[in-house]
Amino acid sequence: MTIDSVLNWVMPIGIILFFVGAIYLRVQGPADQLLHWIGNGIKNLISSGAESTKEIVIDTEIVYS
């Protein structure tokens, strides 16, 4: 493996990461809100599949005559 073949893989990945980071820094506030909203939506989907009924206990008295 030569340095040329390593650079052919590393440089495009580095350039992509640089531009993604630069764009993220500019839209950090709205992007964080969007990711938080998506995360909450996924969490609600997962938790809504669980049984969420509550047990109702009624004290009754049976009188035999």
Per the domain annotation, does 22 fall within a domain?
yes
What integer is the mean pLDDT of 16-34? 90
Whether 31 contacts 24, CB under 8 Å: yes
Per the domain annotation, does 30 fall within a domain?
yes
Tell me the residue range of the domain where 13 lies.
3-48
Kindly report whether the global pTM for this prediction surpasses the value 0.75.
no
Q: How far apart are CA 35 and CA 43, in angstroms?
A: 12
Per the domain annotation, does 8 fall within a domain?
yes
What integer is the mean pLDDT of 40-60? 75
Per the domain annotation, does 60 fall within a domain?
no
Per the domain annotation, does 57 fall within a domain?
no
pLDDT interval class at 49 (50, 70, 90): low
Query: What is the number of domains present in the chain?
Result: 1
pLDDT for the residue 18 = 97
| More reliable by pLDDT, 55 or 13 | 13
Per the domain annotation, does 40 fall within a domain?
yes
Q: How far apart are CA 24 and CA 30, in angstroms?
A: 10
3-state SS track over the chain: CCHHHHHHHHHHHHHHHHHHHHHHHHCHHHHHHHHHHHHHHHHHHHHHCCCCCCCCCCCCCCCCC
Per the domain annotation, does 38 fall within a domain?
yes
Per the domain annotation, does 33 fall within a domain?
yes
